[in-house]
Structure 1
Amino acid sequence: MALDVKVFESIVPSRFLSFTIPRPDLRLRLLRVAVLDSPFPLRGPSQVAALFVPLNRESDWIFSTEAGHLQLLLSFPGISRLVLVGRNPTADDPDSSPVTCYDESQGIQFLEKLRSMLKPLLEALSLKTDGAGGLENGFADVPICEYVDNVISRRVLTTSVGEFVGEMLVEDVELEMEHTSSEFDENHGSNRDFRRRLRFKRMPNLVQTEIRLIPALVSSSSVEIGENVSLKPDCGVLVQHYFVAMVASLSLIANCIETQIRNGLRPKALCLGIGGGALLSFLRSQLGFQVCGVEMDKEVLRIAKQYFGLDDNEITIHVGDAFDYVDELAGVRKQSSDGKEKSCLIESGSFDVVLVDLDSSDAWNGITAPPVEFLERHTVFAARSILAESGILVVNVVPSIRLVYDDLIQQCREIFSELYEIDVGNGENFILVAKVSPVLSSADDSRNAFSDKLKNLISGKYLDSIRKI
Structure 2
Amino acid sequence: MALDRATFEALVPSRFITFTFPNPISGDLLRVAVLDSPTPVTNSPRVAAMLVPHHREHDWIFSTLGGHLQLLLSSPSISRLILAGDLPAADHCSPVIYNRSVNADTESYLVKLQGNLMPLLLALSPKSFAENGSLEIPFLSYDDNVIGSVIVEKCVGSCVGEMLVEDVEIESTESKREFRRRLRFKRMPNLIQTEVSIVPAVGSGGIGEVEFRLDLGVLVHPYLAPMAASLCLICSYVEERIRTGFTPKALCVGVGGGALLSFLQTQLGFEVFGVEADENVLSVAERYFGLEVGETIRVFVGDGIEVIEKIGCRVMERNFGSFGVHEVENPCFINDINQRGTKFDVIMVDLDSSDVCNGVSAPPLDFVQKSVLLSARSALCKLGIFVINVIPPNRSFHEMLIHEFREVFHELYEIDVGNGENYVLIATVSPIESPLSGSENAFLLKLKRSISGAYMDSIRKI
Fold-level match, TM-score > 0.5? yes
- After superposition, where does 1:286-305 map in structure 2 within 5 Å? 286-305=267-286
How much has 1:117 moved relative to structure 2?
1.3
Work out the CA distance in 2 between the residues paired with 1:455 and 1:80: 47
CA contact (8 A) 2:314 2:337 kept: no
CA contact (8 A) 1:259 1:443 kept: no
How much has 1:243 moved relative to structure 2?
0.9
How much has 1:329 moved relative to structure 2?
0.5
Work out the CA distance in 2 between the residues paired with 1:344 and 1:170: 34
CA contact (8 A) 2:411 2:431 kept: yes
Inter-CA distance 42–253: structure 2 relative to 1 (3 Å threshold): farther
Deviates more, 1:316-325 or 1:420-429: 420-429
Q: Which residue of 1 aligns with 2:400?
A: 407
Deviates more, 1:207-216 or 1:77-86: 77-86
Inter-CA distance 164–280: structure 2 relative to 1 (3 Å threshold): same
CA contact (8 A) 2:45 2:128 kept: no
1:205 equivalenced with 2:203 (yes/no): no
Which amino acid counterpart does residue 327 of structure 1 have in structure 2? E
Q: Deviations over 1:242-293 (max 9, x none)?
A: 1112112222222222222232222211111111111110111111111111
Which amino acid counterpart does residue 198 of structure 2 have in structure 1? L
SS at match of 2:82: strand
Query: How many aligned residue pairs are there?
Result: 442
Work out the CA distance in 1 between the residues paired with 2:392 and 2:42: 17
Inter-CA distance 316–215: structure 2 relative to 1 (3 Å threshold): same
Alpha-carbon RMSD across the aligned residues, in angstroms, is 2.8
Structure 1 unmatched runs, 5+: 181-188, 336-342
CA contact (8 A) 2:70 2:359 kept: no
Q: Deviations over 1:62-116 (max 9, x none)?
A: 11011111222222343333222211213795x6444333323365344222221
CA contact (8 A) 1:101 1:153 kept: yes
Work out the CA distance in 1 between the residues paired with 2:337 and 2:283: 32
Which amino acid counterpart does residue 103 of structure 1 have in structure 2? S
- After superposition, where does 1:68-467 map in structure 2 within 5 Å? 68-90=67-89, 96-105=94-103, 107-127=106-126, 138-177=133-172, 179-180=173-174, 190=176, 192-218=177-203, 222-226=204-208, 229-313=210-294, 314-332=296-314, 349-365=342-358, 367-440=360-433, 443-444=436-437, 447-467=440-460
Work out the CA distance in 1 between the residues paired with 2:430 and 2:15: 46
Structure 2 unmatched runs, 5+: 318-335
SS at match of 2:391: strand
How much has 1:394 moved relative to structure 2?
1.5
Work out the CA distance in 2 between the residues paired with 1:143 and 1:11: 18
Inter-CA distance 266–40: structure 2 relative to 1 (3 Å threshold): farther
Deviates more, 1:238-247 or 1:145-154: 145-154
Inter-CA distance 85–464: structure 2 relative to 1 (3 Å threshold): farther
Inter-CA distance 431–3: structure 2 relative to 1 (3 Å threshold): farther
CA contact (8 A) 1:351 1:387 kept: yes
Inter-CA distance 217–419: structure 2 relative to 1 (3 Å threshold): same
Inter-CA distance 280–310: structure 2 relative to 1 (3 Å threshold): same
Of all paired residues, the percent bearing the same amino acid is 53
How much has 1:209 moved relative to structure 2?
1.0
Q: Deviations over 1:96-150 (max 9, x none)?
A: 44433332336534422222112223333445558xxxx7972352222211223
Work out the CA distance in 1 between the residues paired with 2:94 and 2:340: 52
Which amino acid counterpart does residue 312 of structure 1 have in structure 2? V
Deviates more, 1:269-278 or 1:12-21: 12-21
